[in-house]
Structure formats: C-alpha cells, structure tokens
Amino acid sequence: MSKCLYRNPGLLFMVGTSFFGLLLIGVVALNLQPIKANFLWRKPLIGSLYALICLAGIVAVFFPTLCSTLVTSKKKATRHSLATSPFKPTSIYPFIGAHHPDCQNFSAHVFHTNNRRTCAACLGLLLGGLISLAGTWLFFFGEWSLSGNSLQGILLGLVGVGLGLLQYKIGSNIIRLIANSFFVIGTLFLLVGIDELAQSVLADLFVIGLALFWLFTRISLSQWNNWRICHNCPVDSCRHRILDNKGG
C-alpha cells in the first residue's frame, strides 16, 4: 500500500468513481424530467431499503469488527490488510476507538472522556444514521417533502457526501464528527431530491447503489489514512509500527 493516494490505483479508482458519481448526479438532476413511474409501492419499497442500509450502518458502529472483516474480504490482494494491521477493532463496545492506537498522532480522530476514547468518525456516522433513519420515515412513510426545493436538497447532499469522502484530511475531531454525520445525511438528501424529481424506482436504486459505493470508499480511505499515519511515525519501538512493518 502506497503512502501517496495517487500511487494506490485501486483506492484512486474508488475515489475517482465516487466523485464522478457525484458529478453525474448533479448533471442528471439539472436535466432530469419526471418519469413518474406508476408504481404504487415505490416510496415504501425505497424507504424500507434505505432504512435497512441505515440500520446496517448503525449496527456496524456498535460491532466494528464485523464491518472491518467484510471490508477486508473485498481487498484480499492488498498487502496491508486489517489482519496484519493495528487498526483491527478488538472491542464490541460502541465506538470505543479500539481501531485507533492510543497515540498523539490520532488525537484528532477521537474524543477523550472519562478515560475512554470515542471515535469521532464512528460517532458522526451513528448520529447521521439516526437522523437519516428519522428522515426516511418522515419522507417515505410520512408527509415531509422538500416542497419544490429538490435541486437545493441535491446540492446539499453533494456537498455532504463530498465532505465526508475528504474527511481524512480534517485535523479536528469536532469537524470530523460533523463531516461524517453530514456524509450520511447527504445521501438521504440526494435520494429524496432525486425521488421527488424523477419519481422512479430505477433512479432511486441508482442513488442507493452509489451511496453504498461511497460508504465503502469512505471506509477504505479511512483505513488507508490510518495505515499512512502509522507508517510515517518515527517511533520504531511502537508496537503498531512493528505490526505494520510485519505486514510488508
């Protein structure tokens, strides 16, 4: 795994595809004509599917080992997998931060409260998931709508997802928490905006598929950034640095 993103073709492809997807949604939204597919169960179906994804994300926050195992299985060819990395979570307790070494280099990644480390990104994803779950219920099963502001909602969603994908460059735990919350909420605004414009199951499924891809890209970026921080650490005696070197 390269320390430079542009030397990591797999991850670079994921990032490029993610931002191309954002651009594509923006272009499509500006030129989209309502399809109005006559499907009575469109909103309940899409709402249920997106709600399940939100619930799965929330569960992943509380059981990070399972999430990391699933992501790692997609990258068997990567030399520095979580199996040989210091970032494999070792606790089932919610967002304790066990996937971050207790190190000054990761101070911007966690909150320290009562001798416990809380992962800022995981907490942000949890808050975003809960808010999006509530928004899903209100829009797909209730009476909430963007009231003709679909394009503004899509723009807000594009900014949220883009900020979430770039959150690894953020040097503040507070901003990291907000960025990750906004990342999840952004996918909801994109889905709601496209649904109101197109009123099409296929258009909604396209957005949901992109949202899943963005999530895996964001996780991969975070894991790469964690590895990069430890790889650049000058403390050779650190057990995390030793584990990293064993990974190749």
- Measured distance CA(235)–CA(44) in Å, rounded: 54
Q: What are phi and psi of 43, to 5 degrees?
A: -65, -45
Please state whether the predicted TM-score (pTM) of the whole model is above 0.85. Answer: no
- Tell me the residue type at 197: L
Q: What is the pLDDT of residue 179?
A: 93
The average pLDDT across 163-167 equals: 89
Contact 136, 128 (CB under 8 A): no
Q: Tokens in use for 185?
A: 């909420």
Contact 1, 163 (CB under 8 A): no
- Measured distance CA(16)–CA(167) in Å, rounded: 16
- Measured distance CA(34)–CA(132) in Å, rounded: 24
- pLDDT-derived band at 80, boundaries 50, 70, 90: very low
- Measured distance CA(81)–CA(201) in Å, rounded: 37
Q: What is the pLDDT of residue 148?
A: 83
pLDDT at 3 over 90: no
pLDDT, one tens digit per residue, over 175-211 is 999 999 999 999 999 999 999 998 889 999 999 999 9
- Percentage of the chain lying above the pLDDT 70 cut: 75
Q: What are phi and psi of 36, to 5 degrees?
A: 50, 55
Domain range annotation of the chain: 43-241
Q: What is the pLDDT of residue 79?
A: 38
- pLDDT-derived band at 21, boundaries 50, 70, 90: very high
For the chain, strand residue ranges (E) read 110-113, 116-119
Identify which of 27, 53, 43 has the alpha carbon closest to the alpha carbon of residue 199.
43
pLDDT, one tens digit per residue, over 98-146 is 567 777 777 778 887 777 778 888 889 999 999 999 999 999 999 888 8
- pLDDT-derived band at 88, boundaries 50, 70, 90: very low
Return the minimum-mean-pLDDT range out of 5-19, 50-64, 71-85. Answer: 71-85
